[in-house]
Amino acid sequence: MYIIIIGCESIGAKVAKEMSNLNHDVVVVERSEDKLGALASGFNGMIVRGIEFDQDNLQQAGIEKADIVLALTDDDNLNITVSLVASKIFNVKRVIAMINDPNRGNLYELMNIESFSPIKMGVNSLLCKMDITPIEQLSQVSSGVEITRIDVKRVLPIKVKQVEDSAHTIISVVTHNGITNLATPDMTLEYGDLVVCSNHIRDRKALSDLLAKEN
Q: Residue 172 in contact with residue 196, Cβ under 8 Å?
A: yes
pLDDT at 173 over 60: yes
Beta strands in 99-211 (DSSP E): 114-116, 135-140, 145-151, 158-159, 170-176, 179-182, 188-189, 194-200
121: Cβ–Cβ under 8 A, 6 or more apart, which residues? 137, 138, 139
pLDDT at 122 over 60: yes
pLDDT of residue 128: 61
Query: Exposure of 148 by Cβ count < 10 A (0-12 exposed, 13-18 middle, 19+ buried)?
Result: buried
Distances (CA, A) of 19 to 5, 109, 161, 190: 10, 26, 35, 36
What CATH number labels 120-211? 3.30.70.1450
pLDDT at 150 over 80: yes
pLDDT at 132 over 60: no
pLDDT of residue 27: 95
Domain spans of the chain, in order of start: 2-116, 120-211
pLDDT of residue 181: 92
Q: How many CB atoms lie within 10 A of CB 210?
A: 19
pTM for this predicted structure = 0.66
CA–CA gap between residue 41 and residue 109 (Å, rounded): 37
Instruction: Specify the fold of 2-116.
Output: Rossmann fold (3.40.50)
pLDDT at 215 over 70: no
Model confidence pLDDT, tens digit, residues 91-112 = 999 999 999 888 887 788 888 8
Of 136, 193, 180, 183, the residue nearest 162 (C-alpha): 183
